[in-house]
Chain A
């Protein structure tokens, strides 16, 4: 007879084992009646550093009923809810946790399911609920030493799963954004842009560095002034054209960015960071060793200020109300999915 390893994971059936009911037959909104012995055992095992998981032939949506119970929510790692064989489900649990199936115990009230698992996976300890409860204080369910690390094990497994799915989701999102074929075209404000420029400056609060008002007349004067540069940005993607969505008012002496603003219809797509990077690169190409920037904190522009901090802006020494970005080192990283082009500068 082989040595009996301490159990690392108990895989539970749901209907008839964790709760009395058949979950998919409950009326809408009803909660299953969790069996007190099961509730107690799940908690006890977790306290001993033994992970709980699920293998249930049911609608995957039943996971919501598990999470709705305060004692059960978050307790089960790598849960397997579906219509496949339980022996396969247990194999997936062991794989996901990276543990030997010989350290898994399976608990089910249904003798057929127990027999299936016992036949297909003889290494797994197969028990009825009553058998499990009777053995909770035997050595296989009592790890010799329970460390805080062991008690946090379920949380660690769960966190690892969440990280994987977050990575997958992030990969999808970056892929989606690349697939949008976003193009940011930057050029000097022309006479035809002045109405939209004035509107953008007046109406944009969220990504607006100062919140100051600049009249159309004044903007027209700056656009024609050789001492100033007024870059504007247009965004388009495969769905269509966003139009003129960003503007900077750059005083060449300094150089100092007196206003930076991007329409909220273009944020969440990397447009502010892409446009700002272009302005920094341009200033450096023209010989500046730093870019100054006027910033007035107001309630709405906090996101922009966090972005500026992330792009390397710091308080300019002894110049209250001004940030500066040194241009000697590296520029902020390009936005990977955004193609930036320029015209007529």
Chain B
């Protein structure tokens, strides 16, 4: 399962919504203020699930939680920490 796929699944679980709803969410949609707003509890749940699944504690490393901006930023944050810095392209 790809990182993208897993993140969408974890987001759907954190929000308690159908996977299909999350699948329609564009990669760059604002997670906190966009069409499917992630509240404080769901956001905390999501970051905890990412820590359990990937062993990456974004909450501890990212004070301002920039990673929560969008699915794209979350994926980049997870991928960078799992694989080392991403190469361009």
Contacts and interface: CB of A to CB of B under 8 A. Distances in A.
Interface in A161-184: 162-163, 166
A155 B20 contact: yes
Contact of B32 (A158, A268, A309, A323): A309
Nearest to B47: A302
B20 A159 contact: yes
Interface stretch (B1-9, B62-70, B76-84): B62-70
B68 A306 contact: yes
B20 A323 contact: no
A64 to B, nearest CB: 20
Interface string B49-64: 0000000000110011
Nearest to A272: B40
A303 B68 CA distance: 12
Interface in A286-320: 295, 297, 302-310, 313-315, 320
B48 interface: yes
Interface residues on B, range: 20 to 34
B20 A310 contact: no
B44 A297 contact: no
B40 A303 contact: yes
- Identify whether the interface residues of B are mostly helix, strand, loop, or mixed: helix
- Identify whether the interface residues of A are mostly helix, strand, loop, or mixed: helix
A321 interface: yes
A306 B67 CA distance: 11
A78 B8 CA distance: 26
B17 A310 contact: no
Given A313-B64, A315-B64, A303 B44 contact: yes
B43 A315 contact: no
A131 B64 CA distance: 63
A321 B63 contact: yes
B64 A307 contact: no
A156 B32 contact: no
Interface string B17-32: 1101100000000001
27 contacts: A152-B20, A156-B20, A158-B18, A162-B18, A163-B18, A268-B41, A295-B63, A302-B43, A302-B47, A302-B48, A303-B40, A306-B39, A306-B40, A308-B65, A309-B43, A309-B64, A309-B65, A309-B68, A310-B32, A310-B37, A310-B38, A310-B39, A310-B40, A310-B43, A313-B64, A315-B63, A320-B63
Interface of B: 17-18, 20-21, 32-33, 37-41, 43-44, 47-48, 59-60, 63-66, 68
Interface of A: 152, 155-156, 158-159, 162-163, 166, 268, 272, 295, 297, 302-310, 313-315, 320-321, 323
